[in-house]
Amino acid sequence: MRGPLFLLLSLLASALMAQSDWVPLSRDVERPHATAIERWGSTMHTAIRPYRASDLRALDPADTLRPAAVLSALDRWAGRSNGRHFRWGPMVDAGLGYDATQGNGLFHRVGAGLWTNTDLAKNLGLHVAAQVWNEGLPQYLDTLVRSTQVMPGEGYAYGDKAMPTHHDITGHLSWDAGKYFNFTLGRGRNFFGDGHRSLMLSDEANSYPYLRITTTFWKIKYVNLFSSMSDIRGSQGVLGDMQRKYSSMHYLSWNASKRINVAVFEAIVWSAGDSLYPRGFDVNYLNPIIFYRPVEYNIGSPDNALMGFSFNVKAGRKVLFYSQLVLDELVMDQVRSGFGWYANKQAVQLGMVARDAFKVPGLSIRTEWNFVRPFMYTHSDTRQNYAHFGQPLAHPFGSNFQEAIVHVEREHGRWFHGLRASMAWLGTDTDRSYGNNIFRPERDRPRNADNTAWIDYGYRVGRIDTYSILHAELRTGWLVDPHTATRLEASYLFRLTTNVDRSTDMANVFRVGLVCHFRERHPEQAVRYVLN
């Protein structure tokens, strides 16, 4: 019931469908349209990404998303002979860096790839993008990759651990079912939220196979997302040895007015089982309407269920306030008691983004706060935790932390300048779990003095020991290709970690080169666990 189920669903959908183009899931690619997407009066459901290219073209008649072929001969053929039914372009990374914290601090990043969009029929489109990289890393990321075996968001780190090779292949087949439905079968990532982070579903983890059904009517957009994911522990990068898991998610978004959006999110994650208990894809979770938690109770399942709520407000004409509340477990009596019950698992996000801030064209300012309680996203069966390919599906820090973010960015013409800064306070684990590592089960928490029962209370963000990470990156660049957000770019990164013993580790990292932002990058990461 793995691949055949997705194939069957796609064939059933093929009798219905339509329009193909989706914008790459990258804030840098979306940047020219961000003001139009988020301004007062926009009918876009801003938290559901990737966006439809046709929706952005409706906001921007200039159609700046239309790709231009690299070679003039191909441009004449693709642009005139077939009305641009076939479009393509390269993806190139070529940069050098220097990490002042290392004795031999030079490192590199070299990557190459190709993307294509093809209109197979009037209402049927195909997208494929593939890229491979080889790179050295600054010390803090090198430590992360050696601990998790994964390059954040870009695949398994194969070969020489000092200079790993990794790759990512994404693509989708997309139709519209008349006016109201879109069915997309693909491999890639999805994002629910308006923030730099999402506590529901983010683009932090590696790509995965999915079937997405999007229903749009009146002021409603409703997404059903069915995904096949992997637990890489013990596999050593061998695909056939990875443990399969599945997820089903709903995101219901309602534009209640020109200024207010309200949304409900739910997700269920379950293991495909093993040779003793082969389970596969559970068809009970294919129901596109009802909530998953009642289904889970009905079938007596111990699966991992999450629920979330979003409330966003457009203030003035170009300011968006956004919020998320995600619940893994919630017992109000325990919350009101204030005793820190371990099973009260919640995550909260509050944020604001202003476009053309202070009436300066192209200036954007974002502030954001994320708070995630201990044991959030974990599960008693860690095969069913809220993670894929060794990485959290929500925030890269997993759980047991809080974080403040400030972004100030300016784009004018082809020039871009930006400062991204974050400050995080993170709890730690000992030989027992205090809710930091989402790859540890809840039963790893401390036990009482005579070892007869688990300790259930006293779990708060930062309990036992807390360390902090200040991460600030200054970037400036000149846009080479708007369709992949490739820039000639120089950057400086400052990172200060204050350890639990109050000692500090400092990093100063310089980079220069050709940088492709076709995929979102999240360098603000830290080692939170070690995967074997």
DSSP string computed for 20-70: --B--S-HHHHGGGHHHHHSTT----TTEESPBHHHHHHH-TT-TT----S
Least confident of 173-177, 339-343, 350-354: 339-343
pLDDT of residue 145: 92
Q: What distance in Å separates the CA atoms of residue 373 and residue 348, rounded to the nearest whole number?
A: 9
The per-residue pLDDT of the chain, averaged, comes to: 87
Q: Give the model confidence (pLDDT) of 144-164 as tens digits.
A: 999 999 998 899 999 887 899
Q: What distance in Å separates the CA atoms of residue 95 and residue 111, rounded to the nearest whole number?
A: 9
Contact 401, 197 (CB under 8 A): no
pLDDT of residue 9: 37
* Mean pLDDT, residues 311-329 taken together: 94
Whether residue 483 is predicted with pLDDT greater than 50 in this model: the reply is yes
Q: Give the model confidence (pLDDT) of 420-443 as tens digits.
A: 999 999 999 988 999 999 999 989
pLDDT of residue 438: 94
Whether residue 44 is predicted with pLDDT greater than 70 in this model: the reply is yes
Type of residue at 73: A
Complete domains list, the chain, with CATH: 3-516 (2.40.160.130)
Q: Half-sphere exposure of 172 toward its Cβ, with a 13 Å CA cutoff?
A: 28
Whether residue 195 is predicted with pLDDT greater than 60 in this model: the reply is yes
Rounded to 5°, the CA angle 160-161-163 comes to: 65
Contact 516, 486 (CB under 8 A): yes
Whether residue 10 is predicted with pLDDT greater than 60 in this model: the reply is no
With a pLDDT cut of 70, the percent of the chain lying above it is: 88
Percent composition of the chain: helix, strand, coil (DSSP 3-state, to 5): 15, 45, 40
pLDDT band at 473 (very low <50, low <70, confident <90, very high): very high
Q: What distance in Å separates the CA atoms of residue 328 and residue 392, rounded to the nearest whole number?
A: 15
Least confident of 129-133, 273-277, 304-308, 527-531: 273-277
Please spell the DSSP secondary structure of 415-458, one letter per residue: EEEEEEEEEEEEE---SS--S--TTS-GGGS-B-TTSSSB--S-
Whether residue 65 is predicted with pLDDT greater than 80 in this model: the reply is no
Whether residue 67 is predicted with pLDDT greater than 50 in this model: the reply is no
Q: What is the pTM of this model?
A: 0.91
Pairwise pLDDT comparison (380 vs 300), residue with the higher score: 380
* Mean pLDDT, residues 238-264 taken together: 93
Whether residue 2 is predicted with pLDDT greater than 50 in this model: the reply is no
